[in-house]
């Protein structure tokens, strides 16, 4: 027979949002953190290629567009605990940060250092930690009754769901809490992998794996508002890099995309310049293309230019004067409007974050409390919020946890 345990607050999930909430919550009474893996904060450890990309230094008003269509709904949340507030909190903990890779804020030391400090503060706040415990059922009858896979029953007055999504399942993100929430009548938006590589039909860049272009414009055809200007990286079998990762939330099998590798240049002017260069009888095709397209700040790699020439069946060692004007236009289209049909995107094991989750209309976003169940709060990636790469998802994890704690304690001081 299972043994009842009674707590004032139970936090399910010891990722960024769960640990931060516990580190700042000073409510009295017995409190508990339940995590389904031995280690805590594993997604933070994985962020930024293991360096801990924790937020971004752009102005907080610029964050809103980084969360897609739902960004406007969390504006107040981000303003209540913004990137500067997070930096100040980290400084108070003795955690140093640095800025690199285009405004991204990284931890100077290993992410485990921050995790250890958050756990220490949670312990000081009288939170007990239980690991390797999977929650499989939640009931509500004035108080919350939650059941673990092993049969243990826990009771609490206030329940914080900070379980994350399904991306990086090795970190413990498996969304096993979702069936319990559905049984409670809480609406869930379909979970999909986001910030993921993109596989396309007839991918031509297998031999350019590791080559990147610092600035391209990627547009979803027929959805003009969905476009991304950022860097791209060619992998052996797929497109990746920040530009592709950020737009992947809008892609599915059959979607068509255009990639403009020269977003600062004009197609017609580029074609015209090449035609004019044909007057020089001693210039080679690849030299003329390099001269025409590398006038902006972004220099296209020579190997990439050679590949585009081969795709139009042009000899990279041939003479420009031998190429017809129509052929030059076809070549320039590969640089300005390279079209692909999406075959699929990477799965949850390849994705950095989960799109979908608990529907925002179920949540009072001034508190992060579930409207149907007073005392239940949901924060972080478990919600239907997913941001661009660059620290935006972790910032939201902190911000939403801060607002939930503020609702419970009415205390904005980070002690």
Where does the pLDDT of residue 5 fall: very low under 50, low under 70, confident under 90, or very high at 90 and above? Answer: low
Q: What is the 3-state secondary structure (H, E, C) of the chain?
A: CCCEEEEEEEEECCCHHHHHHHHHCCCCCCEEEECCCCCCCHHHHHHHHHCCEEEECCCHHHCHHHHHHHHHHHHHHHHHCCHHHHHHHHHHHCCCEEEECCCEEEECCCHHHHHHHHHHHHHHCCEEEECCCCEEEEEECCCEEEEECCCCEEEEEEEEECCCCCCCHHHCCCCCCHHHHHHCCCCEEEEEEECCCEEECCCCCHHHCCCEEEEEEEEECCCCCCEEEEEEEECCCCEECHHHHHHHHHCCCCCEEEEECCCCCCHHHHHHHHHHHCCCCCCEHHHHHHHHHCCCCCCCCHHHHHHHHHHCCCCCCCEHHHCCHHHHHHHHHHHHCEEEEEEEECCCCCCCEEEEEECHHHEECCCCEECCCCCEEECHHHECCCCCCCCHHHHHHHHHHHHHHHHHHCCCCCC
- State the pLDDT at residue 376: 98
pLDDT tens digits for 281-331?
667 777 788 888 877 677 899 999 999 989 988 877 778 888 888 988 999
- State the pLDDT at residue 285: 77
Q: Is the pLDDT of residue 225 over 80?
A: no
Say what percent of the chain tops pLDDT 90: 76
Across the range 88-97, mean pLDDT stands at: 95
Where does the pLDDT of residue 2 fall: very low under 50, low under 70, confident under 90, or very high at 90 and above? Answer: very low
Q: Which of 102-111, 271-280, 336-345, 396-405 has the lowest mean pLDDT?
A: 271-280
Q: Which fold has domain 4-193+351-409?
A: FAD/NAD(P)-binding domain (3.50.50)
Q: Is the pLDDT of residue 238 over 60?
A: yes
Where does the pLDDT of residue 1 fall: very low under 50, low under 70, confident under 90, or very high at 90 and above? Answer: very low
Domain 197-346 sits in CATH at: 2.40.30.10
Q: Which of 30-34, 159-163, 213-217, 222-226 has the lowest mean pLDDT?
A: 222-226
Where does the pLDDT of residue 223 fall: very low under 50, low under 70, confident under 90, or very high at 90 and above? Answer: low
Across the range 82-86, mean pLDDT stands at: 97
Across the range 104-129, mean pLDDT stands at: 96
- State the pLDDT at residue 410: 80
pLDDT tens digits for 354-377?
999 999 999 999 999 999 999 999
Prediction pTM value:
0.91
Q: For the chain, where do the domains classified as CATH 3.50.50.60 start and end?
A: 4-193+351-409
- State the pLDDT at residue 281: 67
Q: What is the mean pLDDT of the chain?
A: 92
Q: For the chain, where do the domains classified as CATH 2.40.30.10 start and end?
A: 197-346
- State the pLDDT at residue 282: 63
């Amino acid at each position: 027979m299972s043994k009842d345990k009674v707590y004032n607050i139970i936090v399910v999930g010891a990722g960024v949002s769960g640990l931060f909430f516990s580190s700042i919550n000073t409510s009295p009474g017995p409190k508990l953190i339940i995590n389904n893996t031995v280690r805590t904060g594993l997604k933070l450890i994985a962020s930024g290629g293991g360096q801990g990309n924790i937020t971004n230094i752009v102005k907080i008003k610029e964050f809103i567009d980084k969360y897609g269509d739902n960004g406007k709904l969390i504006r107040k949340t981000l303003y209540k605990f913004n990137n500067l507030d997070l930096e100040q909190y980290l400084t108070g903990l003795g955690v140093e940060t640095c800025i690199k890779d285009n405004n991204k804020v990284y931890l100077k030391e290993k992410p485990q250092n921050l995790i250890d400090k958050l756990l220490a503060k949670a312990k000081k706040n009288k939170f007990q930690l239980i690991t390797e415990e999977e929650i499989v059922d939640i009931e509500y009858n004035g108080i919350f009754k939650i059941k673990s896979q092993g049969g243990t029953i826990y009771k609490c007055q206030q329940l914080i769901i900070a379980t994350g999504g399904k991306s990086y399942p090795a970190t413990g993100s498996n969304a096993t809490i979702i069936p319990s929430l559905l049984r409670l009548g809480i609406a869930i938006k379909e979970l999909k992998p986001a910030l993921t590589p993109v596989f396309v039909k007839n991918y031509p860049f297998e031999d350019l794996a590791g080559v990147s272009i610092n600035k391209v414009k990627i547009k979803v055809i027929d959805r003009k508002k969905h476009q991304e200007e950022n860097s791209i990286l060619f992998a052996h079998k797929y497109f990746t890099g920040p530009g592709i990762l950020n737009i992947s939330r809008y892609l599915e099998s059959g979607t068509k995309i255009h990639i403009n590798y020269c977003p600062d240049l004009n197609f017609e002017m580029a074609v015209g310049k090449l035609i004019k260069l044909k007057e020089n009888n001693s210039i080679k095709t690849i030299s003329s293309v390099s001269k025409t397209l590398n006038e902006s700040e972004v220099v296209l790699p020579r190997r990439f230019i050679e590949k585009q020439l081969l795709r139009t069946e042009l000899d990279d060692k041939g003479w420009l004067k031998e190429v017809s004007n129509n052929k030059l236009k076809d070549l320039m289209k590969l640089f300005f409007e390279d079209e692909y049909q999406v075959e699929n995107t990477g799965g949850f094991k390849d994705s950095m974050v989960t799109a979908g989750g608990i529907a925002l209309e179920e949540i009072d976003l001034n508190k992060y409390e579930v409207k149907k169940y007073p005392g239940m709060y949901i924060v972080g990636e478990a919600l239907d919020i997913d941001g661009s790469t660059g620290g935006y998802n972790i910032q939201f994890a902190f911000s939403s946890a801060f607002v939930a704690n503020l609702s419970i304690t009415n205390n904005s001081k980070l002690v």
